[in-house]
Amino acid sequence: MLARDYETQVCSIARALEVIGERWSLLIVRSVMQGHRRFDALQADLGITRSVLTDRLRRLEGEGVLERRPYQTRPERFDYLLTEKGLALWPALNHLMQWGDRYYPEPDGPPVIVEHVGCGGGPDGHQLCDRCGAPLGPGVITTRSGRAAAASG
Amino acid sequence: MLARDYETQVCSIARALEVIGERWSLLIVRSVMQGHRRFDALQADLGITRSVLTDRLRRLEGEGVLERRPYQTRPERFDYLLTEKGLALWPALNHLMQWGDRYYPEPDGPPVIVEHVGCGGGPDGHQLCDRCGAPLGPGVITTRSGRAAAASG
């Protein structure tokens, strides 16, 4: 049963925030989208405690945003993968990234660069490729560190 | 000075969430976008305490997402308006709404309908008009209650 953080609100934005608005949840979705699929890799990428990560992964799995697939049985270990519902968060995430890039720019440039695979263009303001016009999303894009991330690494 | 909730993260999504990720903040931006500009109207729309609303409005004003304009001097009263930076959150908000509409549908239909003014189309998955193809955003769209909101009112 979904906790109703905003139960007075008849609003799909409120519904969405009840699922992904908890501290760290959206950044976990981002990290999985960027290819961190295992618990230890996610913990290292996010720098959060095991208990917070466990709690958020359970919640995201319970809501069908992530699914677990075993990759080892003794001891049991899992890959975390985004479901179709989780992948459908990409446009919102990418708009938040573009907003952060624009209004909180890093001195060395954007931390993450999104590229249209095989074309080299990037997302415009409508998540279409600014070079060839194709619709962008998971599966046709790749991300790489920009200069700010490289400089801090 | 911006509180760094995610200070280990070199990431524009994390930066964005530090500004609008606090409980209620994004719903306040939504309410202002839908035309609620005064403190009492916002409080009624959101159903939150005066102290939480005051705190969030100050933070959003401090970050340049909202600005206050006096509409009365004795006592002093303000309209809250979105800046260009605040209006630039529209695509992310609308994607979250579309995600909520899709994965948490209300039995009576979507709570809020977004319409392209003068055309009657609505946003497609790229925030372009699904009827005429024009780019959509604040200024060229209007929102109205869907059936679910009407039924609960």
User: Which of B13, B124, B143 should be substituted to probe chain A, the one whose Cβ sees the most A Cβ atoms within 10 Å?
Assistant: B13
Does residue A3 belong to the interface with chain B, where contact is any CB pair within 8 Å?
A: no
CB contact under 8 A, B99 and A16: yes
DSSP string across A64-85: TSEEEEEEEETTEEEEEEE-HH
- Would you say the pTM of this structure is higher than 0.95? no
Decide if B2 is inside a domain: no
- Residue B104 lies in domain: 89-152
Domain count, chain A: 2
> If you average pLDDT over residues B33-44, what whole number do you get?
95
In a domain, residue B97? The reply is: yes
Q: Could you give the percent of chain B with pLDDT greater than 70?
A: 94
Burial level of B3, CB count in 10 A (0-12/13-18/19+)?
Answer: exposed
Within a domain: residue A2?
A: no
B44 in contact with A at a CB cutoff of 8 Å?
no
Least Cα distance to A93 among B105, B85, B91 occurs for: B91
Does residue B108 have a pLDDT over 70?
yes
pLDDT digits over A87-111, tens only?
A: 999 999 999 999 999 999 998 899 9
- Token code pair at residue B51: 């102290």
Contact at CB, A103 and B88, closer than 8 angstroms: yes
Give B58-83 pLDDT, tens digit per residue.
999 999 999 999 999 999 999 999 99
Q: Which of residues 59-78 of B touch A (CB under 8 A)?
A: 64
Report the CATH number at residue A77. 1.10.10.10
CB-CB: which of B85, B92, B103 is closest to A85? B103
Tell me the pLDDT band of A145, cut-offs 50, 70 and 90: confident
Average pLDDT of chain B is: 92
Q: Which two tokens stand for residue A34?
A: 């960027």
Question: ipTM higher than 0.85?
Answer: yes
The two tokens of residue B64 are 């340049």
Closest CA to B13 of A130, A66, A55, A91: A91
